[in-house]
Amino acid sequence: MKVGILKTDAVRDEWVGEFGEYPDMFAKLLGSRDADLEFVTYDVRLGEYPDEIDEVDAYLMTGSRHSVYDDLPWIEPLMNFVRELDARGKKLVGICFGHQLIAQALGGRTEKAGAGWGVGMHRHRFSQRPDWFDDGDLEFPILVTHQDQVTLNAPNAKVLASSDFCPNAVCQIGEHILTLQGHPEFVNDYSRAIMEFRREIVTEPVYQSGIASLSEEPATERMAQWILRFLRK
């Protein structure tokens, strides 16, 4: 299976040596668990898209420091591409910014959340077991870093998992689109680096709580398997 990664941001230069770029994180998350996967990166900020939509078997959209409502020239073309993927029933996974942009592109709404910043380890809980899920606990730990949230879902979107902080944490549209607000590709050290960089922005109490939450490890293996099963089904 060939997966096209829609890259919507870059890792800070000083962090790339240790953590890689975002496509590297996803290749490690998924490719290390499925050797048959092949990855192609399209930097949509630079207008890079496949010549043909079926050039790859599925797509994955990364997170970004930007907001989906920012006045940036590459965002509307990306929304149009998402609409085309949806119309064609093409498999698409959206992470954080990707989760938010897919909702916005397909008739939902993303805004700054009244709850403020979410950072560090959060726990999201499934309200049902989709067919790509496992037999484990409905609640799972996942690393997050976001101030925006989906406040109105796209029509036909099903909310599969949520938390008190994030009501729309995992959503699915039809059998072809899966979106997660959290970051299954992150590791604790990368989350810590982001929190330290944004310490003043997120406020000291949120920072301290986020750092303390890193005593727990994310459910990386489970989340990787969920995404792989979704892409393969």
Q: What is the pLDDT of residue 215?
A: 98
Return all residues near 159 (Cβ < 8 A) that are at least 6 apart.
127, 153, 167, 168, 169, 170, 171
pLDDT band with cut points at 50, 70 and 90 for residue 84: very high
Residue-range domain boundaries for the chain: 2-111+148-186+219-232
**In which element (H, E) is residue 143 found?**
strand 139-146
| C-alpha–C-alpha distance, residues 21 and 15, integer Å | 9
Q: What is the pLDDT of residue 216?
A: 97
Q: What is the pLDDT of residue 67?
A: 97
Q: Is 224 helix (H, G, I), strand (E, B) or coil?
A: helix
Q: What is the pLDDT of residue 156?
A: 92
Report yes or no: 183 and 143 within 8 Å, Cβ to Cβ. yes
Q: What is the pLDDT of residue 5?
A: 98
Query: What's the pLDDT tens digit per position in 196-220?
Result: 999 999 999 999 999 999 999 999 9
Topology of domain 2-111+148-186+219-232, CATH = Rossmann fold (3.40.50)
Query: What's the pLDDT tens digit per position in 16-49?
Result: 999 999 999 999 999 999 999 999 999 999 999 9
